[in-house]
Structures are given as C-alpha cells and as structure tokens.
Amino acid sequence: MAIYDLVATTAFGIEAIAAKELKELGFKDLQVENGKITYKGDEKAICMSNLWLRCVDRVYIKLGEFKATSFEQLFQGVKKIDWANYLPENAEFPVADAKSVKSQLFSLSDIQAITKKAIVEKMKENYSVSWFNEGGAYYPIHVAIHKDIVTVHLNTSGTALHRRGYREKGNEAPLKETLAAALVKISGWTKEYPLVDPFCGSGTILIEAALMARNIAPGINRKFAFEDWDIMPEGLFKKCKKEAYEVIDYESELKLQGYDINRRSCGIARSNCELAGVDDSVHIQEMDMRNLSNKRKYGYIICNPPYGERLNDIDEIKVLYKDMGISFEKLPYWNKFILTSNEDFQIFYGRRSSKNRKLYNGRLKCYFYQYFDEKRC
Ligand SMILES: C[S@@+](CC[C@H](N)C(=O)[O-])C[C@H]1O[C@@H](n2cnc3c(N)ncnc32)[C@H](O)[C@@H]1O
C-alpha cells in the first residue's frame, strides 16, 4: 500500500460538513480550504472515501504542484511527475478537465493539449514505445491553475459522486444529491424524528435522508474510475463493498414523507425511491403544501421550494412564501429548514429564522433558512 495526497472537492459552503464526514471515516490532519479538503490516505482510503462520502463531488490523487507562467514550464512540470507509477502502458488518460483562475496561462484547450503532450513524452521514456493505444482502464486527469500555481490530479471517482445511480429521471430543478445530503446533515435530523419535504420534486432530500438513516453507503450502486486501476490491490474494493452491505440498517422504522402539488413529480419521486432501494421507507403523495398537517408534536421539515428566479414569478413567490409561513407554523414545535435563493424569504414567510447559511446550488447563491422550533416549548 502507498500513501497518497488526496483531495475531496465540495460545493462552496459545505466544506465543514464534508470535513466532518471525513473525520467520521477516521481521517486526520485535514486541510480545509474553499471548495476542497486535502488529506492523506492509502488505497483503502480511496475506496472508503468514494463509497461513503455523501457531500463530496469527487476524490482526487494530487500528483504534482508547481509554478508555471509559460507553456514550457507547464510541460516540464507535468513531465517531472512519475506517470508510470500510476498509469499502465495501455491506460486511457484524457486530460478530462482543466481550470485556470487569475493565471497567465488561461487557454484551457492549450493547457489540456500541453499537459497531454508532456504525459505522453514521459510515458514514452518509461515504456520505451512511441505510441499508446489507450485501450485499457480509464484515468481521467485534471489540471487546475490558480495564481500561476499548477496542480495536477488524477480523478479516482470518474463521474461526479452526486451521481449515485438512483436518479434516472429528473424533475425540473432537482437538487444535487450531494447538496441534499448536506442539507439533511446541517439540519441535525436523526431517524427517530419524522421528516417531511412538502416540495419534494424528484425526492432527493428524502432519498438522501433514507440512505443516511439506513446507513447505506451512497456509492454502493455505482462504478468508480479507480476500480479498474492497477494500483488497487486485488479484492480490496470488493471487501469494502461487502462490509458496507453488512452494516445496512434494515430494521429502523422511518417516518419520511414527501408531498408535491405536481402529479408527475410524485411519480418521478416514487420511481427514484425504488431505484435507491428506499421505497419502503418513504411515503410520497400529491398535495399542496397549504394542506400540510401532522399528528406528531415534533419533527423536521426540510425543503427546496421554487425560488421565483424569473421576474414575472415574483408576485406568485411572495404569495407562496407567505402561505408557507401560515402552513408550516401550524406545526409550531417542528424544526424547519428552507433552501432558496430569495433574499427576502424571511419577510414573505413572516418570521426571522434562527440562523441562515450561505450555500451554492450550482452557481446560484442560496440561503438555508433554519428555524429551530423544538426549543420553543
Ligand atoms: C425546486 S423544486 C424541488 C426539487 C426537489 N428538491 C428535487 O430535488 O427534485 C420545487 C417543487 O415544488 C413543487 N411545488 C410548487 N408549488 C407547490 C405547492 N404549493 N405545494 C406543493 N408543491 C409545490 C413543484 O412542483 C416542484 O416539484
């Protein structure tokens, strides 16, 4: 086993939640920065991070970091990396992603082309061949340049981790699974409490809550790039997956309910719950949130209502948020959590939140308004 510098990337605003997840997996000495957490780990760490992290976008191995203000420096820096330690001769190694911020090198297509050329040159030396067929396992490479500092990464996840494999059908404006998981974590909800999403759409928040409550690894039903890599010891990932199946909690009784005014959305939510294997844990029903009621004194509402981003939606949104205030306050001791990009939400809702947190839903700046109302009694 080797020790790698690993980087878990997250959406802005949920780094601390992701860092907590990493600590819970047993990782120490985390370096938390904007949108990423750096830590050290071996091959098992790569398996466990991809399989278990709920709020992380991708897990990378950091291969090199150097300064480059010219393409020649970029070429030489990339060529210095011992590529043959990672890539076999038949590897497929696209420079799949490049970013550049506040740097002299900014043409992404050129950065990708030069990086690829440098890797090929180094591999030619390593393997004493002049051409690579790239017919083998997939090794996506990522180059990021920030203020002229280049970081070269190998993407162990492949497709982003929010793609758990259960959302075949999307509703309009579905939440990313990683953000939905972060909302549930921030709320502090635990499985003993009922959880209601009155604007459930395709059901993402409830599915993520069910996966957490049942202790189902979010990556259990998908494939990762690293699975086919030569650096991974034979059988290691299979063992991690087997252990993940053994710790699933099939017994706990869950009270998860989703409502949506749109019949089609309810159908999508039900089929997504089925694909995620949590359809026995989540009840979905067509209903206007204005008719919300619940017999239980305590519980959690977590939701992502329409934001009213278009100008002509504003009046409708004001009425919707006002009606949410009336409807939700009929459950006075329930904790309530609402994600919206609307800065005036609290005014329309009719009450100041106990706390609010800035989060990004894609590129859109949002606020997670939090009402801790269990404390009221
Ligand atoms: C932003 S989407 C929610 C997306 C959801 N979080 C997901 O991941 O798919 C908002 C949802 O609110 C629903 N909706 C709008 N007005 C509603 C109302 N008065 N009562 C219940 N649902 C409503 C819409 O049909 C839509 O599915």
Report the DSSP pairing between strands 149-155 and 141-146. antiparallel
For residue 337, the CA-to-ligand 1 centroid distance in Å is 15
What is 177-214+249-376's CATH topology?
Rossmann fold (3.40.50)
Closest atom of ligand 1 to CA, residue 289: 20
Tell me which residue has its CA closest to atom 1 in ligand 1.
306
Q: Which of 180, 132, 171, 188 is nearest to 303 (CA)?
A: 180
pLDDT at 311: 62
pLDDT at 265: 95
Token pair, residue 293, equals: 């009621």
pLDDT at 377: 67
d(CA 82, CA 27): 26
Whole-model pTM: value is 0.95
- Amino acid at site 122: K
pLDDT at 376: 77
For residue 57, the CA-to-ligand 1 centroid distance in Å is 24
Q: Kindly list the domain boundaries of the chain, sorted by start residue.
A: 4-155, 177-214+249-376
d(CA 326, CA 339): 18
Architecture of the structural domain at 4-155 = 2-Layer Sandwich (3.30)
Ligand 1 surroundings by CB, under 6 angstroms: 171, 173-175, 198-199, 201-202, 204-205, 259-262, 265, 288-289, 304-306
For residue 200, the CA-to-ligand 1 centroid distance in Å is 6
For residue 262, the CA-to-ligand 1 centroid distance in Å is 8
Closest atom of ligand 1 to CA, residue 202: 9
**pLDDT mean values, one per 10 residues, the chain (377 residues):** 95 96 97 96 98 98 98 98 96 96 96 97 94 95 97 97 84 88 98 97 97 97 96 96 97 96 96 95 97 96 91 84 97 97 96 94 95 85
pLDDT at 169: 67
In angstroms, the Cα distances linking 253 to 22, 210, 249, 256, 275 are 27, 11, 10, 10, 20
Domain 4-155 shares a fold with domain 177-214+249-376: no
Pocket test for ligand 1, best of 187, 265, 366 (most atoms within 8 A of CB): 265
Backbone angles phi and psi of 162, in degrees to 5? -70, -15
For residue 352, the CA-to-ligand 1 centroid distance in Å is 22
For residue 201, the CA-to-ligand 1 centroid distance in Å is 5
Tell me which residue has its CA closest to atom 13 in ligand 1.
199
Token pair, residue 321, equals: 């948020």
Backbone angles phi and psi of 267, in degrees to 5? -65, -45
For residue 198, the CA-to-ligand 1 centroid distance in Å is 8
d(CA 44, CA 306): 41
pLDDT at 70: 97
What residue has token string 């999403």?
Answer: 197
Q: Is the dihedral of CA 326, 331, 332, 338 positive or negative?
A: negative
pLDDT at 116: 97
Phi-psi region of 29 (alpha: psi -120 to 50; beta: other; left: phi over 0): left
pLDDT at 314: 82
Tell me which residue has its CA closest to atom 7 in ligand 1.
174
Q: CA dihedral in degrees (126, 131, 136, 140; nearest 10)? A: 80
pLDDT at 171: 67
For residue 259, the CA-to-ligand 1 centroid distance in Å is 8
pLDDT at 172: 73
pLDDT at 312: 66
d(CA 283, CA 229): 40
Closest atom of ligand 1 to CA, residue 268: 9
Output DSSP code: residue 139: -
